[in-house]
Structure 1
Amino acid sequence: MNGYSVVIPTLVRSSLRDCLFSLAATWGPPPQEIVLVDDRPSGGPMVRVPGELACLVRVLASRGGGPAAARNLGWRRTRTPWVVFLDDDVLVEEDWCAALAVDLKRAGERVAGVQGRISVPLPCDRPPTDWERVTSGLARARWITADMAYRREALVESGGFDERFPRAFREDADLALRLQADGWELTEGERLSRHPVRPATAAASLRAQAGNADDALMRAVHGPGWHRRAGEAVGRRPRHLAITAAGVLAAVAALAGRRRLARAAALGALAGVGEFAAARILPGPRDLREVTLMLGTSLLIPPAASWHWARGVARSRSARPWPGPAKALLLDRDGTLVHDVPYNGDPDLVEPIRGVREALELARESGLRLAVVSNQSGLASGRFSPEDLEAVNRRVQELLGPFEVWKTCPHGGDEGCACRKPAPGLIAQAAAELGVEVGECVMVGDIGSDVRAARAAGARSVLVPTAQTRREELEGARCAPDLLTAVRFALGEASGGRLWR
């Protein structure tokens, strides 16, 4: 069984208590920890945690950053191979932990995420309301984080959820599309969770139109065909835009004294609103409250949807895929910056790899902080002295320019230290000394231990293969033909190559 953590972003609604008690009642291999991320801007008291879970629960505060930022904060504080995201209004079934264990065991090494099955209970004694029907669509949605397990290394390499999505909308589809573009696979598991329909205010459907701005961001970063790839429908936005355009035309024509055109446009807008209202009313309970609500909101939704779409298009015109430029570049020395001379203690043998200086100049001009992180077991074996190592590093800087931080592991491979790559120690130390978060770094190296160290620490990575790179080390790594391409990836200007090949 792969170890896993559960991350639940929450506004500490009453549903959170029910969610936690359903987790406490399930059987099977338990999570190693449960991270509750309180996203209320000013915090407040937490709900009572069931006694069975008390030793597993950790509470973090994201201070109103939104669900994407809350999930990122949560998963970055975990260290398990898998992270399972749950919404705070989900109820897991009795065998959820056991079914999850099967789902994760079946996941091949190329599988980045395994979605749980979602059921949305609807009333049996009457037709569902419009809000209930909208919520029931969660049962058919793909890759939603109501119950979604992600491989931690996939989250690291992708940069996690795009925090430009301020609502619990489209941030899950965005992550899924980025992972699939990198060659990862997403699958559906057998575990089951229930998503009850939570109470909604009269203006809920009107407020939901803000999601049109998120659709504009999706289009900007994934192209016009993103709906098809994400398994989503375009929906009614084209009709909403047409209704709004007809309404605006009617108003402008009336002000210009063109009454016939104004009447025609107004009739067109009203016909569109009428068709929209009927499509929402007829499948529902058709009681007075529902009919009145549908008529009122059907008149307001088209202009609201159009406004949010236009606002989103304007804001996301130059948007790039998440996570954008890194703040720091961490570089292996031998085989990445200079040709690998085993156990080199002689500065005269230092020879830069072709094109490296130009790549580093681009990095410095673009504001990337630079650090070198290097295993040097020759110190432990006595093949060279600390003074020899310092002389070699000095020569590297003479040829390639300055690096802000140098972090070296002096231990042998059998000493079990926390700094020798693939352990994460050097990566974490370099980031701390540079004053940046590990997730804001990109590690560049030439062998698999560089990639594994970065992932263990929580940094993205790029492998620039050499003759010493084993074929199996290429699988699952983001590869680049040279350091210049790797730098451009760190700057958000290049893909760096697919992770799976």
Structure 2
Amino acid sequence: MTPAPSYAVVVPTVGRTRLAALLASVRQAAAVGPAPEEVVVVDDRPVPRRGPNPPLDLGPDPVPGVRVLRSAGRGPAAARNAGWRSVRTEWVAFLDDDVVVPPLWADALAQDLAAAGPDVGGVQGRIRVPLPGHRPPTDLERNTAGLERARWATADMAYRRAALQAVHGFDERFPRAYREDADLALRVRAAGWDLERGVRTVEHPVRPAGGLASLRAQAGNADDALLRALHGPAWRTRTEAGPGRLPWHVATVAAGLTALGAGVTAAALTDRDPHTTRVVAALAGAAWAGLTARFVHERLAPGPRPGDEGHAAEVRRMIVTSVLIPVAAVAHRVRGAWRWRQGLGRTVPPWPLPVRAVLFDRDGTLVRDVPYNGDPDAVEPLPGARRVLDGFRADGLFVGVVSNQSGIGRGMLTGAQVDAVDRRIRRLLGRFDTWQRCPHAPEQGCSCRKPEPGLVLRAADDLGVLPAECLVVGDIGSDVGAAVAAGARTVLVPTEVTRTEELTRAPAVAATLDEVVTLL
């Protein structure tokens, strides 16, 4: 009997209360069908200014093998990248943190993956959104139900890890849970892989979102601008996204601005007849009112009827948001177009972004590892370190150091002693563009000690580059973990202290520092 393909489950989360229910349902499904090799929960809550995030609620009996990573609030695309880059299974099943899988999900997933031919890079699950049976659905409920027709939605999408590697995963310039999955699907297909729809299902409940949820959702228009810049004006056809309402919103805003401008002009005319301007203002105002009324009607007509629970509140919501949505949609689209078309010129670089900065671990990578070294005279650069650094500098790349120095937090070293050692390293190895260190002991629970992403994120911010434009070079798993969590690329250069499992998990391994150059 052919064994089921190996898979891991990756769940990005911002700490929603439904996470525990999802993990409980995965545990139940794994008891019936083939279990995942591991479940990776990626905590994408922003890093607090002081101390770590409060622990996630994984439920009273979490899935065996569950592992939590941090991605520091960089968005679901970055969180999913951190998750899949940390596993070594043939397949990666992405689930949203607010879905629930049925008891036979793992068995159905195994069937989907086993049926996938060698050219299949991804298999989508079927999403079911439970809607109320006692009344027509609200606007929010209908929008959520649209996931049932969505293509390649990562609420339940399994990708072959080789396909993810081929396109370097999700484009982390998409900051929201919107369009990042469509962009990935287009790039996977362009790389020669097929995408299929499987037989498994998940349930995606409608989560409470507040009265202005539809207004906040208009921020996705900026992501539409990025998708257009990357994939051309036919992106909606290629992603099967449908025509969208932006042209209607543009017409509504144009009519409103015309009416307002003409009205102000008419009021200011004192030396000639403002009749024509008033006519223009009236016609434009009527057009705005008509377009807005049509929008309100389109959103209210399929919804709750008079006498239904929540009808009055839905009417108020639809009137207020229908007035505001066209303005918000156009403003966000203009903002996105400016950023991705004019702000960066008319060419948006494809994903992955080129490396602009190389960040090195200090001890065991650039210099011989002397535990808790506070003596500058004990500094000994490793073979090739100066040559490799000078080569990167000559190529115009930033170079920096990201180093754990827990000896300070443990009381074994002073900050001044570590400063003296760092100065000695600079004298021997040359100029560094950024130098970041964590002085905390492990028990202090900081967000900068590797494998937490803080040092890498601080270095990227200091250099004015994106984390995705950084390469982290280190000799142990915590260096790799920090890079993965921060969204940087990483190369492991093993030493005698590198553990076998760290070698196995590393995305890339170089035998020497000189070999790192060939892996850029």
Establish whether TM, by shorter chain, passes 0.5.
yes
SS in structure 2 of the partner of residue 316 of structure 1: helix
Alignment of 1:57-456 (within 5 A): 57-257=66-266, 258-286=277-305, 287-317=311-341, 318=345, 319-326=348-355, 367=396, 431-432=473-474, 440=489
Task: Return the offset for 1:40.
Answer: 1.2
CA contact (8 A) 2:256 2:284 kept: yes
| Worse-matched range after superposition: 69-78 or 40-49 | 40-49
Q: Structure 1 CA distance, aligned partners of 2:398 and 2:318?
A: 55
SS in structure 1 of the partner of residue 125 of structure 2: strand
Q: Structure 2 CA distance, aligned partners of 1:181 and 1:366?
A: 31
CA contact (8 A) 2:33 2:106 kept: yes
Task: Return the offset for 1:459.
Answer: 5.5
Task: Return the offset for 1:129.
Answer: 0.4
Q: Is 2:16 the counterpart of 1:13?
A: yes
Q: Give 2:374's aligned residue.
A: none
- The residue identity in structure 2 corresponding to 1:458 is P
Task: Return the offset for 1:4.
Answer: 0.8
CA contact (8 A) 1:441 1:459 kept: yes
Q: Give 1:352's aligned residue.
A: none
CA contact (8 A) 2:472 2:489 kept: no
CA contact (8 A) 1:22 1:94 kept: yes
Q: Deviations over 1:219-278 (max 9, x none)?
A: 001101111111101311110011001111111112222211111111111111000000
- The residue identity in structure 2 corresponding to 1:297 is T
| Paired positions, count | 364
Q: Give 1:389's aligned residue.
A: none
Equivalent of 1:30 in 32, 35, 60: 35
Q: Is 2:61 the counterpart of 1:51?
A: yes
SS in structure 1 of the partner of residue 474 of structure 2: helix
Q: Structure 1 CA distance, aligned partners of 2:136 and 2:196?
A: 32
- After TM superposition, the score normalised by the length of structure 2 is 0.65
CA contact (8 A) 1:157 1:455 kept: no
Instruction: Please report the RMSD computed on the Cα atoms of aligned residues, expressed in angstroms.
Output: 3.0
Q: Residues 103 and 195 from structure 1, CA distance in 2 versus in 1: closer, same or farther, beyond 3 angstroms?
A: same
Q: Which runs of 5+ in 2 are unaligned?
A: 267-276, 306-310, 359-390, 400-470, 492-502, 510-517
- The residue identity in structure 2 corresponding to 1:270 is A
Task: Return the offset for 1:188.
Answer: 0.8
| Worse-matched range after superposition: 73-82 or 123-132 | 73-82
Q: Deviations over 1:86-124 (max 9, x none)?
A: 001111011101111111111111111111111111111
Task: Return the offset for 1:320.
Answer: 2.0
Task: Return the offset for 1:126.
Answer: 0.6
SS in structure 2 of the partner of residue 92 of structure 1: coil
Task: Return the offset for 1:63.
Answer: 1.6
CA contact (8 A) 2:252 2:287 kept: yes
Task: Return the offset for 1:296.
Answer: 0.9
SS in structure 2 of the partner of residue 219 of structure 1: helix
Task: Return the offset for 1:81.
Answer: 1.3
Q: Deviations over 1:152-175 (max 9, x none)?
A: 121122111111111100000011
Q: Structure 2 CA distance, aligned partners of 1:127 and 1:296?
A: 20
Task: Return the offset for 1:298.
Answer: 0.4
CA contact (8 A) 2:27 2:62 kept: yes
- The residue identity in structure 2 corresponding to 1:232 is A
CA contact (8 A) 2:24 2:61 kept: no
Q: Structure 2 CA distance, aligned partners of 1:3 and 1:184?
A: 19
Q: Structure 1 CA distance, aligned partners of 2:209 and 2:175?
A: 20
SS in structure 2 of the partner of residue 205 of structure 1: helix
CA contact (8 A) 2:87 2:505 kept: no
Q: Residues 365 and 216 from structure 1, CA distance in 2 versus in 1: closer, same or farther, beyond 3 angstroms?
A: farther
